[in-house]
Chain A
């Protein structure tokens, strides 16, 4: 009797255990995600990055005017201030017209809001036709003014009267895509060569290590400069863009290659690799199925933390006039255009691209740190 009861009880608990176990089939990926989610700052970084990429991805939609359109009557305008409240309370947002006033003593132009001239902002209204993501043409813009008598410049204009919102968003598209593509090239080169170097060892390893040491012994910025100065000056801006991507990726891979090599070397002695070998797996199978997936989390972390470097790289090159060439715009190009003290004093809003650079770099760093902690889900 007694033992029967025990038996039943045992059966029961083992059944409930089974049920629970089934629900808990957690892969390492899920564990990493769970750990990542706990890191608030990293999640914030991720959200900001998604938001920024969304903005610059649909730059044509979010910017009210084409980036290179010169609004001749509106040069060096400060940003408009959006108002929500008028005499009727909360309503449709609107801006006031600016009026220029010359101070005859200092010869400075100041802008004053003329509270009588109100312009309402409309959403999803029609503007100039543009091509959305290369798929179809449309003229629907996210926001704009209904009438054509006045223009809206939420972040001001430059000396040619070009809208800074449009230029920053379009420039961000170039800056952020260059850094992603550069990192992609870096990841492909670094993980491939690193894995080969670590797995095969011997002469291949020695050779690759010397190459890596050679590349790492150059200071970065002069190397970038030398390489981009070597790009032919008659290239179109698209070709230069591709050239810059390749330069950034090629200069960046050795560091990653080294790290991947170390990880792979450590793993090659692991018994699961030996088990695969002893059942007849080819080197290719082992590299693709075991070594790369197991170093992937490290690769992703390193890659994420390298994006800021790439953004800065592009900005530095363009700032020095060696990177992206106008009419293409990037954040570096925008900063190059305000390379003087006068702009800082008179048109400080033209430095707004710096804020965007800082925010995206910080976000990538936060995200990278979060990923690094999550990459090892079993550590505490």
Chain B
């Protein structure tokens, strides 16, 4: 891993207006992403976890500008070392960024146009950027398909003839076509069967070894994220509640939300009898978040202070590794890691 920033996100906000009534007046905002800052180092895999509606997909789409952020900066350092603020680029200037930042989507069925052949799908990024002629593009598609474990002859076939896992491989090949540096993986395996899920995870890992990609890996499945990521960021209701290296976050979480996520992971093995520890209640409406700490209404450790004051992000440094958590009681709370939770009640 090179010690160099690839992406720095500063105070990113994305609010979606809620329009109501006959005149479609703006009646309020859904704060999908609310003031988050983080960075991605070159060549690392960062996991972004959270429940549905927490803003993790929106964050990813703000980085490659599928959404225009409401406020904040996304600083990208290109291969020449220039720092570009992605949020300020015009549509024309964005073309240079698109080549470097690609995306893999969740749904292998809706992410491929069913009317295009595999060749056209994979070659599309090359075509819209006017790279190469038809022959060269076909050659490139051929290489890419082989690289993701498909055969050249499948080039002329159509998406409906492939299984979910194969379709996801086609999606990966398309993302590779422009030789990107950062790949945003938006729930790339959650729609796949268990046995196929592992194939795609291994493929992503191999490709990273070979080409040195940086991954932003967005997922809700904690065990998958733990497996693939170097660092993990936990999101709740539009805010980052905790970031730390993958090991640390699972062994000694600092935020009560992280702890409850770990406690909710189902463990099948009856010999690791684990106490299920779930959060009560439901995720609040993001257009009307609670005052103070977002988690306060559900937090098992809640105190008066939490309901009134929004917690600051606390930075902690240990052995040169920085981790952050947004909780008033980072130092006071003694939270359980995954292992401790798993052995909470001894096997009967």
A and B touching (Cβ–Cβ under 8 A):
yes
1/0 contact string of B239-254 vs chain A (CB within 8 Å): 0000000000000000
Known: A18-B151, A281-B124. A271 touches B94 (CB 8 A): no
1/0 contact string of A185-222 vs chain B (CB within 8 Å): 00000000000000000000010000000000000000
Q: Is B110 an interface residue (CB 8 A)?
A: yes
Question: By the criterion CB–CB under 8 Å, are A278 and B98 in contact?
Answer: yes
Q: Is B158 an interface residue (CB 8 A)?
A: yes
Question: By the criterion CB–CB under 8 Å, are B107 and A280 in contact?
Answer: no
Q: Is B112 an interface residue (CB 8 A)?
A: yes
User: Most B CB atoms within 10 A — which of A21, A24, A278?
Assistant: A278
Query: Across the two chains, which residue of chain A brings its CB closest to B155?
Result: A25
Q: How far is the CA of A206 from the CA of B161 in the complex (A)?
A: 39
Q: How far is the CA of A378 from the CA of B161 in the complex (A)?
A: 11
Q: How far is the CA of A24 from the CA of B95 in the complex (A)?
A: 38
Task: Name the interface residues of A279-312: CB closer than 8 Å to any CB of B.
Answer: 279-282, 285, 289-290, 293-294
1/0 contact string of B92-112 vs chain A (CB within 8 Å): 001100110111011100111
Q: Is A54 an interface residue (CB 8 A)?
A: no
Task: Name the interface residues of B292-335: CB closer than 8 Å to any CB of A.
Answer: none
Q: How far is the CA of A110 from the CA of B246 in the complex (A)?
A: 101
Min CB–CB distance A98 → chain B (angstroms): 60
1/0 contact string of A355-380 vs chain B (CB within 8 Å): 00000000000000000000000100
Question: By the criterion CB–CB under 8 Å, are B158 and A279 in contact?
Answer: no
Enumerate chain A residues within 8 angstroms of B157, measured Cβ to Cβ: 21, 25
Known: A26-B161, A27-B158, A378-B160. A276 touches B124 (CB 8 A): yes
Q: Is B125 an interface residue (CB 8 A)?
A: yes
Q: Is B178 an interface residue (CB 8 A)?
A: yes
Q: How large is the interface on A (under 10, 10 to 19, 20 to 34, 35 or more residues)?
A: 20 to 34
Enumerate chain A residues within 8 angstroms of B128, measured Cβ to Cβ: 276, 279-282, 285
Q: Which of A28, A276, A282, A285 is within 8 Å of B115, CB to CB?
A: A28
Known: A294-B113, A294-B115. A271 touches B106 (CB 8 A): yes
Enumerate chain A residues within 8 angstroms of B151, measured Cβ to Cβ: 18
Enumerate chain A residues within 8 angstroms of B171, measured Cβ to Cβ: 275
Q: Which of B24, B110, B117 is within 8 Å of A27, CB to CB?
A: B117
Question: By the criterion CB–CB under 8 Å, are B114 and A280 in contact?
Answer: no
Question: By the criterion CB–CB under 8 Å, are A275 and B111 in contact?
Answer: yes
Question: By the criterion CB–CB under 8 Å, are B158 and A271 in contact?
Answer: no
Question: By the criterion CB–CB under 8 Å, are A272 and B98 in contact?
Answer: no
Min CB–CB distance B213 → chain A (angstroms): 16
Min CB–CB distance A31 → chain B (angstroms): 8
Q: Which of A21, A271, A281 is within 8 Å of B154, CB to CB?
A: A21
Task: Name the interface residues of A158-178: CB closer than 8 Å to any CB of B.
Answer: none
1/0 contact string of B165-198 vs chain A (CB within 8 Å): 0000001001001100000000000000000000
Query: Across the two chains, which residue of chain A brings its CB closest to B126?
Result: A279
Query: Across the two chains, which residue of chain B brings its CB closest to A270?
Result: B110
Question: By the criterion CB–CB under 8 Å, are A275 and B105 in contact?
Answer: yes
> 14 pairs across A/B with beta carbons < 8 Å?
A25-B158, A206-B24, A272-B112, A274-B105, A275-B174, A276-B124, A278-B66, A278-B102, A279-B125, A279-B128, A280-B94, A280-B99, A290-B113, A293-B113
